[in-house]
């Protein structure tokens, strides 16, 4: 019987890059024991000491961004310039919490009838992060940095196809002087996560991933009465009103759809256009979508790399074909290209209706579903006609109107005249089947702390 391994494969060529032996149960137990021992010391450190580690991590990320970016590109196909940008964003996140966490975690005195009463914020323990492959650095740092700054430990169960990224992050934190074991990558299978959550060493869990994975993790966390945060899928609607700057809208919407080859939970997916400007927007949108340069993600002129795996390409193409069978039309793309690699071309579907996969399911690839609406009210209704609620956008030259509509949209993140993106300074998360809880900002920092009331009579 062979050694159980996680396989890293270059999605642009199909070449196997590396095989990583999975951790056996006894190895997992040793890692958990070491992590808990490290945490018992780490939680006593000052926030300034924790911040020094994050500042050093930021320097290491900046200095190694090309090397780390190449690892990302090779393992999951992201274009190199996007991968380098992802690493830079991780450095920003480290610096943000290094500079802001102390103020966020400062105890807050509350005037009551007590001699003294206040609220303080204490770490919970070891936080397990179950992370996906699509932003293999950013997603990890997004969960781990605030958890560590709050005084917790961080255990990573990363996606099997990006174990090279997982190891690189683990090494980086060690180089940044984080105590050994406090951040640990556990190379285990997905079906082993439930048993891991049940372990007494685990205090809480954060997952970014699919709806089925989120449901399973939430059930396990609930069964064992442990805090969980879920960031799941999305089918983000973008409303283009009749008074929108159509050039801005077309360029922004295509950028939001093609970012990371369309493999983003918060990527723009459904484009709901008022009938007065439908044809004009569609013409501009197809032009901007077709301008993408698909090819080797390591080449500097490539703007659209492959999908991360061949099975993901097959699933996406099936969703496109099933939508066409129900009456949608592909005005651009919609076919499987010849040659090696998990490539899928920019695709624009029109005549999309709510019963079609292109409308009601998450399209994890560079496929846009364009929908016509007769007026603003119908556009909002169509936008909210979804099980998901992660992000949404509105395009209009009347920013007050845009803000009013943004407040009507059922999503955790609503942007006006811009595509939705995460920002360390703002809370990030969804509602409905897009999950619960928040990451980033002070809200994300406080997800995994004991918000403790102290009352002195």
Q: How far is CA 400 from CA 244, 249, 361, 397, 413, in A?
A: 13, 17, 31, 9, 17
Helix (H) or strand (E) segment spanning residue 85: helix 80-105
DSSP one-letter code for 159: -
Is 174 buried (19+), middle (13-18) or exposed (0-12) by CB count in 10 A? Answer: middle
Provide CB contacts within 8 A for 104, sequence distance 6+: 121, 442, 445, 446
- Catalytic residue selected from 75, 201, 231, 376: 231
Three-state SS annotation for 354-367 = CCCHHHHCCCCCCE
- Report residue 173 CA to chain centroid gap: 21
Q: Rounded CA gap, 125 and 448, in Å?
A: 9
Nearest Cα neighbor of 305 from 290, 295, 317 is 295
Write down the catalytic residue from 90, 94, 253, 265.
265
Query: Which residues, other chains included, contact 369 with Cβ-Cβ below 8 Å and sequence gap of 6+?
Result: 269, 270, 271, 323, 328, 349, 352, 356, 358, 359, 363
For residue 90, indicate whether it is catalytic. Answer: no
| Neighbouring-strand partners of residue 395 | 240
Known catalytic residue at 253: no
d(CA 456, CA 434): 41
**CA–CA dist 349, 184 (Å, integer):** 43
Residue 266 CA to residue 335 CA, distance in Å, equals 24
Contact 329, 370 (CB under 8 A): no
Catalytically active residues, by annotation: 231, 265
């Amino acid at each position: 019987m062979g050694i159980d391994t996680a396989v890293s494969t270059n999605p642009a060529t199909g070449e196997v890059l590396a095989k990583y032996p999975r951790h056996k149960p006894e190895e997992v137990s040793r890692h958990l024991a070491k992590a808990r021992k490290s945490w018992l010391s780490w939680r006593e450190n000052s926030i300034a000491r924790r911040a020094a580690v994050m500042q050093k991590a930021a320097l290491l990320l900046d200095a190694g961004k090309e090397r780390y970016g190449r690892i990302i590109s090779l393992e999951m196909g992201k274009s190199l310039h996007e991968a380098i940008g992802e690493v830079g964003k991780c450095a920003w996140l480290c610096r943000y919490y290094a500079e802001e966490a102390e103020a966020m975690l400062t105890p807050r005195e509350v005037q009551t009838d007590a001699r003294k009463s206040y609220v303080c914020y204490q770490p919970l323990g070891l936080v397990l992060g179950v992370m996906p492959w699509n932003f293999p650095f950013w997603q990890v740092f997004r969960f781990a940095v605030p958890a560590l700054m709050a005084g917790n430990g961080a255990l990573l169960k990363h996606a099997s196809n990006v174990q090279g990224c997982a190891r690189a992050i683990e090494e980086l934190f060690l180089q940044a002087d984080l105590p050994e074991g406090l951040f640990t990558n556990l190379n285990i299978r997905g079906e082993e996560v439930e048993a891991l959550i049940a372990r007494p060493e685990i205090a809480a869990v954060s997952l970014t991933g699919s709806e089925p994975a989120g449901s399973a993790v939430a059930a396990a966390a609930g069964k064992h009465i442990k805090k969980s945060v879920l960031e799941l899928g999305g089918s983000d609607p973008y409303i283009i009103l009749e008074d929108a700057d159509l050039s801005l809208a077309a360029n922004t919407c295509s950028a939001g759809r093609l970012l990371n080859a369309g493999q983003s939970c918060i990527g723009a997916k459904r484009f709901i256009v008022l009938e007065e400007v439908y044809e004009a927007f569609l013409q501009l949108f197809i032009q901007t979508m077709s301008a993408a340069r698909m090819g080797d993600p390591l080449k500097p002129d490539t703007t659209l790399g492959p999908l991360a795996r061949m099975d993901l390409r097959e699933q996406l193409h099936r969703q496109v074909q099933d939508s066409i069978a129900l009456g949608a039309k592909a005005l651009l793309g919609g076919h499987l290209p010849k040659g090696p690699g998990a490539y899928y071309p920019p695709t624009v579907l029109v005549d999309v209706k709510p019963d079609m996969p292109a409308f009601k399911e998450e399209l994890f690839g560079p496929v846009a579903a364009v929908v016509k609406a007769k007026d603003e009210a119908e556009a909002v209704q169509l936008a909210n006609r979804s099980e998901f609620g992660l992000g949404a956008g509105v395009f209009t030259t009347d920013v007050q109107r845009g803000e009013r509509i943004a407040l009507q949209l059922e999503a955790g993140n609503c942007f006006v005249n811009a595509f939705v993106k995460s920002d360390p300074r703002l809370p990030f998360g969804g509602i409905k089947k897009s999950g619960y809880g928040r990451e980033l900002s002070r809200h994300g920092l406080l997800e995994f702390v004991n918000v403790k009331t102290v009352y002195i009579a």
